[in-house]
Structure 1
C-alpha cells in the first residue's frame, strides 16, 4: 500500500470505520455460536512491508491450525482463521461438549466444528462488507488444515505486494471467557477489493 493511505489520524479512523462493522458482526455471530464464550474486537488497522507481516500479526513459525476461506464475488480475497492446536481443541471441546485429545488427528465431527466456525465468522464478516460497499461478498466452503501460519499469510499478501509498496493489515483481538487468546482472523483483500475499500475509506 502506498505511504499516503494511512498517514494521519483521520485516515486511520476512516480505515477503522471500514473494518469495525465487520468485526462487530463477526463478534456477535461468534458469541452466539459459542454461547457467549468467544468475542472479537478490532485492535488496529495499519500498513506494513511484506517482510513485517508476521511480526505485525504476532505469527510464529510453529505449526498452526488454519481455517481458510476464499472471498466469493467479482473482486476476491481471503479470510484466514489461525490458532494453535491447544486453543483449537478448547474451541472444539466447548462446541461439542466433550474432551478432545490434542495429540490425535481430527475426526470428521471435529473438522466440521472448525469448518462451521469459519463459515459463521466469514459469513458475518463479509455480510458487513457487503452492506458497507454495496458489492456482494460471500465465503467459500472452509478448508481446515495444519500449516505454518507465517508462510501461509505471507504468501496470501503477495498479490497486494505486487501492486502496492506496503500491505494493509487489520489486527483482530479474540477473547474467550473474558481472557485474550492467541487467535487471529486475517482478512487479505485482493488488489481490486483493496482499491474498493480504499475508496470507501476516503469517503468516510
Structure 2
C-alpha cells in the first residue's frame, strides 16, 4: 500500500470514528422519540468523485420523501433523511398512533411528524459534531421534500465540488428490531468542516 493510499485510509478512519459518535447520539435520540422501536448505525464513510456518488449509494431516479436540514457558512453541511413512500408513511402513522394513510397527498400532520423526526436526528448529529470540533451550529428549520434523491444529493454536494475533486459522504442504516428499514441519513459536510473533522482527533 503506497503512502497516499495509507493516508487516505487513515483519514477516513478518523472521520468514521467521529461520525460514529454522532450517529450513536442520534440513535439514542431516535430510540427515545420512537419509544425504543428504531435505532441506527453508521454504514460507511466514503470519499468519491461526484459522478460515482449516486451509483454507489443506489439512489437511482426513484422519488423519495426527504427531510433536509442545512448549516450555512464556511463550517457548514447538509443533513438529509430519506424514506421511500411506504416507510415514510409507516413512520408518520406510528408517531401519530394512527393507521397508515392511503391518501395521495401527505397531510400537514404527517409532514410535521417527519420534519420533527429529521429535526431530532439532525440536531443530535450536529450537536455531537459541534462538541467534537469546539464549534456551535444553528441548523435551518427542517424542510419536507418529495423529489428525486439524486437531485437533492447533487445540490448538497455542489459546495464540496467547487473546492475539490472528491466529495465526502456518509450513509446510515436504520433498524426496527432485526428488520432493516428503507430509510437513510446522508450527511454531507462542507469542505471546511471536513478539515476540522480530520484534525479534531
1:114-153 matches, cutoff 5 A:
114-153=114-153
How far is 1:102 from its partner?
A: 3.9
Counterpart of 2:198 in structure 1 is 198
Q: For 1:71-150, what aligned pairs fall within 5 Å after superposition? A: 71=71, 75-150=75-150
Q: Which residue of 1 aligns with 2:49?
A: 49
Seen in structure 2, the aligned counterparts of structure 1 residues 192 and 21 have a Cα distance that, compared at 3 Å, is: same
Shift, 1:6, TM fit? 7.2
CA contact (8 A) 2:93 2:101 kept: no
Residues 73, 138 of structure 1: 8 Å contact kept? no
Residue 195 of structure 1 deviates from its aligned partner by 2.1
Question: Structure 2 vs 1, CA of residues 107 and 196 (structure 1 numbering), >3 Å: closer, same or farther?
Answer: same
Distance verdict in 2 for CA 1:191–1:113, change over 3 Å: same
Please state if 1:186 is matched with 2:186. Answer: yes
Instruction: Measure the CA separation in 1 of the matches of 2:22 and 2:34.
Output: 18
Aligned to 1:66: 66
CA-CA distance at 1:199 after TM superposition: 2.4
Deviation at 1:12, TM superposition (A): 3.0
Q: CA deviation at 1:123?
A: 0.9
RMSD (CA atoms): 1.9
> In the TM superposition, what is the alpha-carbon distance from 1:38 to its structure 2 partner?
1.1
Q: Determine the C-alpha separation between the residues in 2 that align with 1:8 and 1:195.
A: 13
**Distance across 1 between alignment mates of 2:94 and 2:138:** 26
Per-residue Cα deviation, 1:121-144 (whole angstroms, up to 9, x for no partner): 011001100110000113211010
Q: Deviations over 1:60-108 (max 9, x none)?
A: 2111001011125662221111111110001011101111324421111
Aligned residue in 2 for 1:158: 158
TM-score w.r.t. the length of structure 1 is 0.90
Aligned length: 199
| Structure 1: 5+ residue stretches without partners | none
Residues 163-183 of structure 1: CA distance to partner in whole angstroms, max 9, x if unpaired?
112111112111123211121
Aligned to 2:20: 20
Unaligned runs of 5+ in 2: none
